[in-house]
Chain A
Amino acid sequence: MKELLKLCGFTDKEPETELARIEKVFKRLGITDEDIETGKQRLHKYYDIDLQGLRKVFRLIIKELVNAILAKEDGREKLIYGFMCPGIDLLGSAFMTKSDKVFSIHHSWAFHIVIGCIFGKIVPVLEDAEKTWLKAGAVAHCANVKTIAGPLSMGLFPNPDMLVTSAYTCETSSKTLDILHELYDIPVWYIDHFKDRAITEYPGPSDRVAKLTAESIKRFVEKVQSITGFEIEDDLLIQVKETKRKLEKAITEMRKIVINSDPLLISSSHENIWGCLLSLTSTIDGIEEATDAINMLCNELKEKAARGEGDVEKGAPRVLAICPAGQTDPRLEYLLCEVGIAVVGIDFTMGEKSKKHSDDPYLEMALGSQQVSLELPPYGRIPLIINACKKLKVNGVLDRYHVGCRAVVADALLIEEAVKKELGIPVMVMEWENFDPRSYNHQQFKNRLEIFREMMIENTGNKS
């Protein structure tokens, strides 16, 4: 156990009470000694765990999970879980900075990393969700919603006092929370938010959508204020936003180092880890700690680049991947490196920053939330992807579509067609489930990726 925690950035100086809390939570999650061994092996195999900055990031993620699971025992009186909900990470940080009686979390992200990526034990959680209502294999039943439902049905997380989601970004999230309300009598709050904009409004955000979303977020905050009795001032939101901005900037800086590297400095399996960090709803102090860890990582990556080291062979074909890296399973990203494909970018992290800004923190949150790939319909998403390909100078696009997601799945063939037509580079369309390790088919994926790699090399050779 101590060895595993050391790999995850915990030191000998850690208070005994903190270690006892982790042990308690691992026991509750059913983590055995065998799992600990597996965890160590997976950390070594799938992550660049020698990087001290990365270890610190894992530490923050584990701490977030522990704090979430022990929230009630720690005396938190109100628990708010957010899911597919614009602004919840920022709002959660504000709530927790304001009061130690509230715990607000995007509760599944840290869970994905710890239970899925480190211990490889997410499947029993999915199966538990499938036992009662979310059928296995059914296309519309994205495993992400199962990772929300499963931990509650298994009693791994305390039931929250409120669940909050967006009613339009992902329809299955709101439906799943409806079910959780029916089953566990948990109140659910919906933030109004939608993807549709007039075509002329692209590539920028839509004022119309932003206004609706901002008003809706504000109503949610008023509700939280009425439940908790404290006030969330605009100044606090601005302060949290500013602190988060520093973290975002550090991550952007780190991504730049990775994008420009050859050999690729670090596998795309790490993308989830940074993504998780952005979604953590720590207090302002916690966000600053995360920023320090990423800054440390930046320096380590620069040193690694100076030594000429990387996770993929030098000169490997550069690829933009569609949809995020496996959220609960790093094996596909590892396979990509093994085959010799350098994933230098992911469309979900390539959105252009909004040029529109507002002094109203709610409007600012709403404007920012529109610029990510997930929030864009095809005619917004495709230009984003084409631009990203040009910017990254990629040799191909790995068009993996998250089969259970109605928000993105229909775009796959349109993306393929557009990239081939406009850029003339190979595109490999691949079906997978972003949150379900059972969808990983090693030989099938390997066969296809090896051919894809050869096509990119040949295509590049022919052009040069």
Chain B
Amino acid sequence: MSAIFFAGIDLGSTMTKAVIINSDEEICSAVIHHTGAEHRQLANEAMEEALAECDLDIDNITFIVATGYGRITVPFADTQVTELTCHARGVSALFPDAKLVIDIGGQDAKGMQINNGRLIDFVMSDKCAAGTGRFFEIMANTLDIDIDELGNFSLKAENKVSVNSTCTVFARQEVISRLSEGESVEDVLAGIHDAIAVRTVRMLHKLKVEPDVIFTGGVAENKGVVQALENRLGCRIFVPENPMLTGALGAAVIAKEKALKALAKGEHIQKEKRQLDKASFFRKGTS
């Protein structure tokens, strides 16, 4: 039997991720792009790049699952699955003993209680984007620091400053105010990271915090948040090597499950020929 491949594409609010796996669930290629307004085109580009990375053609992919907020608009996907189900599966593929997943992405935060890759319960942030990647972007901009360095600076703090955690706008005002009062950037940043941890733990209140706790999403790359969360939760937190990819990986794993299930039943799984077209959200003639 020739090698078969499966793909997952995660069109998040901020980043678009594509993963191709083989039948052993080994990652053959993975790409990450910024999500723009034309995310339908971007989905094509991400998939083309992922395919090129492992020297495959779209027709070599047996089944494709799209996830994330933009999942409906992926023109070449065979089916769509919600991002929480995909995250649960993706995390379990990497951490089989995972029980609690914290995912903080560009514009929202989620908590998932999982068991053997199955989603048992979930919580999601609502009403605003405080405590998400967007919050850190604004703080990085306010402090004129590269966003990737925020966490490292926070870990150098000597006296953590208390910062409001309920609103991005208020927190920004508070940061400016604290700096003008003479507090150091490191101490203020430690306060910001702790504020995020407090907010996240509050969101998780109705889920059971039990090991293994896994932290995913772009914000998981920030070591300051990881430490602040460990302090607040009182347990070790595991972060995947590439925490942004778990949704797309889970989508690829689900693609494999669906395809194998269908094949076992003798069902035809690809109804239409897939096309990586250049579909646009704009009307023809405008750009």
Contact = CB atoms under 8 A, between A and B. Distances in A.
Interface string A411-431: 001001000000000100100
Contacts of B119: 451, 454-455, 458
A454 B85 CA distance: 7
A419 to B, nearest CB: 12
Interface in B85-123: 85, 118-122
Nearest to B122: A451
B84 interface: yes
Contacts of B85: 451, 454-455, 458
Nearest to A449: B82
Contacts of B82: 447, 450-451, 454
A450 B69 CA distance: 11
Contacts, number: 30
Contacts of A450: 82
A388 B70 CA distance: 37
Interface string B183-209: 000000000000000000000001000
A197 B16 CA distance: 56
A441 B124 CA distance: 14
Nearest to B123: A429
Contacts of B206: 413, 416, 429
A426 B119 CA distance: 10
B81 interface: yes
Interface string B111-144: 0000000111110101000000000000000000
A335 to B, nearest CB: 15
Interface string A299-343: 000000000000000000000000000000000000000000000
Contact of B81 (A441, A444, A448, A454): A454
Nearest to A430: B126
A459 B119 CA distance: 9
Interface string A391-433: 0000000000000000000000100100000000010010000
Contacts of B118: 458-459, 462
Nearest to B71: A450
Contacts of B122: 451, 455
A448 B120 CA distance: 14
Contacts of A459: 118
A219 B126 CA distance: 48
Contacts of A462: 118
A464 to B, nearest CB: 14
Interface string A434-447: 00000001001001
Given A444-B126, A458-B118, 13 more contacts: A413-B206, A416-B206, A429-B206, A447-B82, A451-B85, A451-B119, A451-B122, A454-B81, A454-B82, A454-B119, A455-B85, A455-B120, A458-B119
23 contacts: A416-B206, A426-B121, A429-B206, A441-B126, A444-B126, A447-B69, A448-B124, A450-B82, A451-B82, A451-B84, A451-B85, A451-B119, A451-B122, A454-B81, A454-B82, A454-B84, A454-B85, A454-B119, A455-B85, A455-B119, A455-B120, A458-B118, A459-B118
